[in-house]
Amino acid sequence: MLQVIKIVWQAIRQLSGDDAYERYLRHHAEHHAAESEPLSKQAFFKKWQDEKWQGVKRCC
């Protein structure tokens, strides 16, 4: 039961973008750790939000 709640909660976090920064840090650590420091949470969030809203994202 606890396991199910945990999975659902993680899905909700991922759907809403609540864990976007954590996922970014993981991606950065895996792929770009040698090249640069990761962005701060504030800077990442700004970039993430701006990118999310380019182009057609909502329909009729």
Which residues of the shown chain bind other proteins in the complex (CB under 8 A)? 11-18, 20-21, 23-24, 27-28, 31, 41-42, 44-60
Distance CA(33)–CA(27), nearest Å, equals 9
Distance CA(36)–CA(28), nearest Å, equals 9
Q: Rank residues 34 and 58 by Cβ distance to other proteins and give the closer one.
A: 58
**C-beta of 8: minimal distance to other proteins in Å?**
10
Distance CA(44)–CA(59), nearest Å, equals 26
Q: Rank residues 1 and 54 by Cβ distance to other proteins and give the closer one.
A: 54
